[in-house]
Amino acid sequence: MLRKTILAFASIAALLVVAGFMGPLHRAAESISIGRPVFGVACLLGIILGRSLWERAIFGAIAVLAILTTAVPFLTQDPGGDMRVYSKNLWFANAQVQAVVADIKAADVDVVMLQEVSDNNNSILGLLKASFPHQHFCRFSGWSGIALASRHPFAGDPVCSSWRAVLAAPIDLDGRRVWTVSAHIPWPWPHDSIENENAAVEILSELEGPVVVAGDFNIVPWSGRVERIARLTRTQLAGPAYSTLNLRNIPLPIDLILAPGGGSVKLRPKLGSDHAGVVADVALW
């Protein structure tokens, strides 16, 4: 009886692993994919207790698929030497703005991407103005603005998505144009975020040349959403991914940075936010 119960548990876990890859069919699959590491480990029970070689092989294949696809984002990478970026979801009620500014300046970055820039904390842009004079702010509501600040001049007009999703700004990096994108896309499901995702695609699909995307993706790095954005922008995930948000004591790596050649990521403190910041040295060419 116990064996049957454990096998049933492993079978459900295997089905959830497979379901997590079905993002193109339904956005609920994106949320299911969050549990893929746990489901993959549960599949190992099926390898041990499977009734036949064929059954054990299926459990094994699904476990390997789950573990490999979730392990890769946590691998370290060599630092790219082309640009350094800082990204942080400030949290709309953050009162430690001065501490965040000090952390940004200490990180010595080229571009800053900020999310949840609200009526409560938007003074951060003024405090950064001297060091990062080239700025743009997309206000979607009183709490959910997206901002970008750069040491380098803009090489064209920044653009805001029609729904809260992305702010894209071209910068002049030593005579070469690079698109820098600050992203904040809502949870895919059960939130009704299809308009936000479509708004992001509308902007990202028109960008030409090197693109760096950084921000709060509200989904894990092995999800279909991140894969689609990486494919659309011809980028890859910089690593390693870090847990940047604890949701009901579940560590979630959802603040990510993508660049053409990836790059090396370091974690920054939370400093009054519910999200940790991330800094990456990325490779553009």
Residue 41 shares a structural domain with residue 166 = no
Residue 101 shares a structural domain with residue 174 = yes
Residue 11 shares a structural domain with residue 24 = yes
Residue 109 shares a structural domain with residue 242 = yes
What are 44-95's pLDDT values in tens digits?
A: 999 988 888 999 999 999 999 999 999 999 999 999 999 999 999 999 999 9
CATH assignment of the domain containing 214? 3.60.10.10
Residue 202 shares a structural domain with residue 182 = yes
What total number of domains does the chain contain? 2
Residue 199 shares a structural domain with residue 223 = yes
What are 9-45's pLDDT values in tens digits?
A: 999 999 999 999 998 778 899 999 999 999 999 999 9
Residue 191 shares a structural domain with residue 277 = yes
Instruction: Name the residue among 221, 214, 223 with its Cα closest to residue 280.
Output: 214
pLDDT-derived band of residue 153, with 50, 70 and 90 as boundaries?
A: very high
Residue 155 shares a structural domain with residue 225 = yes
The domain containing residue 47 runs over which residues? 2-73
Cα(112)–Cα(88) distance, integer angstroms: 8
Residue 28 shares a structural domain with residue 164 = no
